[in-house]
Structure 1
Amino acid sequence: MGRRSPYPEEFRNDAVALWRAAAGRRTYSAVAADVGVSGETLRSWVRQADGHASRGHARGGEAAEGQDEELTRLRAELGRLRKAEKEWELEREILRRAAQYFAKEMRA
């Protein structure tokens, strides 16, 4: 587990609120300089407040597990659909050839 932040939770929440109020007009670094922390520290607080993990770190929580399960399910379904699509292509090709054959027979 990570070490405990030296900043109180209320201070972090206020810094995040300040950044959100200035979002689009000021950078993380500019807002962070006003409150006396680094830009990356403020950015990580915003990510935590939004419920996102930073890049390169393992995701935690039930929401992430649910997303992983859904992603696995969707990938499996995509695989089944691609296999079915190939089978349908083969069936269409057989029907196309059969239609051509019978069209020739009717002309002769």
Structure 2
Amino acid sequence: MEQFLLVFRGPPAGASDATPHDGNRWHAWFQQLGAALVDRGKLCSGSVEIKTRLTGPNISADTLHGYSVIAAADFNEAVRLATDCPVFDEEGWVEVAHIEVPTGETDVR
């Protein structure tokens, strides 16, 4: 099995178009993933993108809502698993990225 990073993004909390977060739906989705869920990750509140030097307040049109790591046979399966994510009910979306796991290297934490 390969590992994939799911990055949850959407409108900032409190934005007029933001749908309230439903913790019960997220919990149910994590349960539905079962053994495919490698790391539940964390949900976030508030973020800022830093692409270049900031010259003043910069509020992004979307923000990071959180991340999880899943295991799947391939990219297509990872995308299929992500399609039931509750972030879509919160006017958000999911980025799916394959995680390259280096072989023979130790954890550098």
- With normalisation by structure 2, the TM-score equals 0.22
Structure number with larger C-alpha Rg: 1
- Identify which of structures 1 and 2 has the higher relative contact order when contacts are C-alpha pairs closer than 8 Å and 6+ apart: 2
- More strand by percentage: 2
- More helix by percentage: 1
